Structure 1
Amino acid sequence: MRFVSWLAVNAVALAVVLWLIPGIYLTGPSHGTAELRHKLVPELVVAIILGVVSKLAKPVLTILSLPLIVLTLGLFLLVVNAAMLGLTAWISGYTSLGFHVTGFWPAVWGGLIFAIAGSLTRHLIEDDRR
C-alpha cells in the first residue's frame, strides 16, 4: 500500500509539472496513439524513475553540495531538484518514454512545482488515512 501511495504522489506531482511547465513534456511512445493509456503508462514509469532517482541520487548530491546549500540558505536545493529532473530525463532518453526537459530554468521551476505538488498530495493522502 505504501508503494501505491508513493507512486500516486509522484504521478500527481509529475502531472502538475507536465501541465504547468512548458519546457517539460511527455510525448509518450513514438508508436502509440494519443489515447489515455498511452500517456498514463509512460507517466507512471517516469514517476517511478523520478522517485528512484530521488531516493538514490538526491541524498548523495545534497551531502556533496551541503556547503552551497548552507551558503544560499537552502536555495541551492532548487538546483538539486532540477538535477533530479534532468537525470530522470537523461535516463528516460534511453527508453521510448518521451520525457524531455528542455533546459535549466524549466528544470528549476519543475523541481519547485514538483516539490510543492508532492507535499500537498502527500498531505491530502495522509489526511485520508486518519
Structure 2
Amino acid sequence: MNLLIRLLITTILVVVIANFLPGISVDSIKTALIVAVVLALLNTFLKPILVFFTLPVTVITLGLFLLVINAVMILICDYLIDGFEVKSFINALFFSIVLSVCQWILNLFVKD
C-alpha cells in the first residue's frame, strides 16, 4: 500500500514541478504516472549499478556526484517515455533536486 501512495505522491510532484520549472513538460497525468513508475524501476535496478561504478568520483566529490546520477536518471526517463520532455541536463538536474526534496518532505508523512 505504501508503494502505491509513494507512486501517487511522485506522480503529483512530477505534474506540479513540470508546471513550475521551465524546460520540463509532461503531457498528461497518465504520462506522469508512467514517469513515476519508470523512475522507481530505474532507481531500484540501474542506480545502484551506476553508484557502484562511480564510487571513486562520488567519494572525491563528497557525494555531490549523486546529483549527476539523479539527473541522468531523469534524462533516461525522458528518452524512454513519450510525452515527458526535458530540454537540457541543467533542467534535469534542477528537476531531480526539487523532486528529491519534495519527495523527502512528503514521504515523512507516509508510515512504513
Pair in the same fold by TM > 0.5? yes
User: Hey, what's the Cα distance between the residues in 2 that align with 1:13 and 1:53?
Assistant: 17
Q: Tell me, in whole angstroms, the C-alpha distance in 1 between the residues paired with 2:40 and 2:13.
A: 11
Larger Rg: 1
What TM-score, normalized to structure 1? 0.78
Q: How many residues end up aligned between the 2 structures?
A: 112
Per the alignment, residue 6 of structure 2 pairs with: 6
Q: Indicate the residue corresponding to 1:120 in structure 2.
A: 105
Which consecutive residues of structure 1, in runs of 5 or more, have no partner in the other structure?
29-38
Report the RMSD for the aligned CA atoms in angstroms. 1.6
Identity %: 29
Shift of 1:19: 2.7
Q: Where do 5+ consecutive residues of structure 2 fail to align?
A: none
1:16 and 1:117 in contact (8 A); partners too: no
Query: Shift in Å at residue 50 of structure 1?
Result: 1.4
State the alpha-carbon separation in 1 of the partners of residues 92 and 110 from structure 2. 26
Give the SS at the match of 2:62. Answer: coil
